[in-house]
Amino acid sequence: MLAILIIILFLLLLLAIAFIRALILPKKTSFYEGSKDEERSLDYALKLQKMIQVETVSSRDNNDPTKFRKLHKVMEELFPTVFSTCEKHDIDGSLLVRWPGKDHNKQPIVLISHLDVVPAEGEWLYPPFSGTIVDGKIYGRGSFDVKCGVFSFYQAVEELIKEGYKPDCDIYLGSSCTEEIGGDGAPKIVKWFDDHNIRPFMVCDEGGTITEDPMPGVKGNFAAVGIFEKGYGDIKIIAKGNGGHSSSPGKNSPIARLGKFINEIETKSPFKVEFTPAVEGMLQNLAPYCDNLLLKTVFHNLWLFKPVLKKVMPAISPIGAAMLQTTICFTMQKGSDATNVIPQEAYVTANMRYIPFQGKDESLAIVRNIAAKYDLEVEEITCSDPTSSLDLNGPQFAMTKKAIEKIFPNVCVLPYVVTGGTDSRFYDGHVDACVRFEPVNVSKQQLGNMHGINENLNIDTLPLAVEYYKEIIRLQEGR
């Protein structure tokens, strides 16, 4: 009895300490202010408009480089100084530009963003390849994903060259034309570096952005810097049987077994839940910005609340679950061809995203084990491991943080898990580090429009994006 009382008192003491620590943590605000220079914003938007007007939808069936070469032409007109100073390589429609620095032997950096876009279906407010500018926004496919990125680093280099600036190391601008179809554009650029025995110091790609209100109870604009990308897997789970007429069915038909399997996985996720340094860093950094004292207490005292959070986060939020564990989602299914025929074979497909501490092999083994209980086979369609993680104590993250803090002085930096896929995954293992951050500010609504209708971007975010890339280039001097 006494022992229980002591434990309760001890827990109360820990809670009191956590609560007091949160109470004395000063409240901070994180907010983004766009450029006040309207003329410069408009001037940039008009250049971006010209890039949007070249339709560059990539296609798995026939990714014709002609349309991408049309965009190269437009870019040569928009950034004449870049193209008259730098070395240009057209790698089957993907574009690699080398700006020679003072020291060719110093490891270069590579600024990347893709030239291709996803198709623009549906009814848009303005034609998707018009780049219409209305009320401080530019509309069009690629305005945010991600011609704004390509525009911003080309413009940064254009201006730096005109200012007479010479970078310390070589600066490469790499833009594949196959990102949206997961094609071989980026791998070919990576091969170019390998063939030339060049191992870049850092690759800066899209991934996170400056986003609004990252979670309930936390308001403001935060710079989400992608630390790693989860692995990707498409798998097929197959059930075989003897078929037959549905008027006299036996138990455990293929579809019933698939149903039981899905039910088991959906009811209780079989994957390990862990905090990665990215998630831990994100929650800790968010603590001073929480409006809600309870949330602030939890985030500021992960030493105490981590075990509880590990249980609660996946249960209350799909995004929380995606950040902490491998996920699986069932996406397609097929049975027999008639309503009154038991299939001899049925299948479901699933899309998996692997977390670094439980990669492709371990996650697939878990799925296979459960499948075996129901006499199911598992086939890999395409599977790749998670990328390595950016070191939060390394120079590349420090440089990124420094540039963000200089150009966006009121914006807090958050490490972030990229749950989608980007071209930078192909650079993994071929460069020292990948930073996944696009230096533009977007609202939740703009983030939602990304692959949908009415994709748009605030034009006052462009001047600061250009400044950010200039700063990243200048920061190479110190290393």
Under the rule (CB under 5 A), what is the footprint of Zn ion?
145-146
The least distance separating Zn ion from the CB of residue 457, rounded to whole angstroms, comes to 13
Contact 263, 1 (CB under 8 A): no
Contact 414, 224 (CB under 8 A): yes
The least distance separating Zn ion from the CB of residue 143, rounded to whole angstroms, comes to 12
Contact 253, 241 (CB under 8 A): yes
Walk across the sheet containing 133-134 and list its strands.
Answer: 133-134, 137-139, 456-458
Residue 380's CB is within 10 A of a number of other CB atoms, namely 12
The least distance separating Zn ion from the CB of residue 58, rounded to whole angstroms, comes to 11
**Concatenated DSSP letters for 121-186?**
-S--SS-TTT--EETTEEESTTTTTTHHHHHHHHHHHHHHHHTT---SS-EEEEE-S-GGGT-SHH
The least distance separating Zn ion from the CB of residue 232, rounded to whole angstroms, comes to 15
Residue 134's CB is within 10 A of a number of other CB atoms, namely 10
The least distance separating Zn ion from the CB of residue 181, rounded to whole angstroms, comes to 11
Report the residue number, 145 or 455, with the smaller CB distance to Zn ion. Answer: 145
Report the residue number, 178 or 325, with the smaller CB distance to Zn ion. Answer: 178
C-alpha pair distances (Å), 374 with each of 436, 440, 472: 41, 48, 54
The least distance separating Zn ion from the CB of residue 446, rounded to whole angstroms, comes to 14
The least distance separating Zn ion from the CB of residue 121, rounded to whole angstroms, comes to 17
Rounded Cα gap, residues 474 and 289, in angstroms: 31
Contact 94, 176 (CB under 8 A): yes
The least distance separating Zn ion from the CB of residue 226, rounded to whole angstroms, comes to 12
Report the residue number, 56 or 297, with the smaller CB distance to Zn ion. Answer: 56
Report the residue number, 145 or 471, with the smaller CB distance to Zn ion. Answer: 145
Rounded Cα gap, residues 364 and 38, in angstroms: 53
Query: Taken in order 291, 292, 294, 295, is the CA torsion positive or negative?
Result: negative
Report the residue number, 176 or 325, with the smaller CB distance to Zn ion. Answer: 176
DSSP code at position 358: B
Report the residue number, 153 or 261, with the smaller CB distance to Zn ion. Answer: 153
**Concatenated DSSP letters for 363-389?**
HHHHHHHHHHHTTEEEEEEEEEPPPPP
Rounded Cα gap, residues 135 and 459, in angstroms: 9
Report the residue number, 101 or 174, with the smaller CB distance to Zn ion. Answer: 174
The least distance separating Zn ion from the CB of residue 393, rounded to whole angstroms, comes to 28
- The CA dihedral of 33, 37, 38, 42, to the nearest 10 degrees, is -100
Report the residue number, 319 or 450, with the smaller CB distance to Zn ion. Answer: 450
Report the residue number, 297 or 461, with the smaller CB distance to Zn ion. Answer: 461
Report the residue number, 71 or 376, with the smaller CB distance to Zn ion. Answer: 71
The least distance separating Zn ion from the CB of residue 103, rounded to whole angstroms, comes to 32
Instruction: Report whether the peptide linkage leading into residue 146 is cis, meaning its omega lies within 30 degrees of zero.
Output: yes
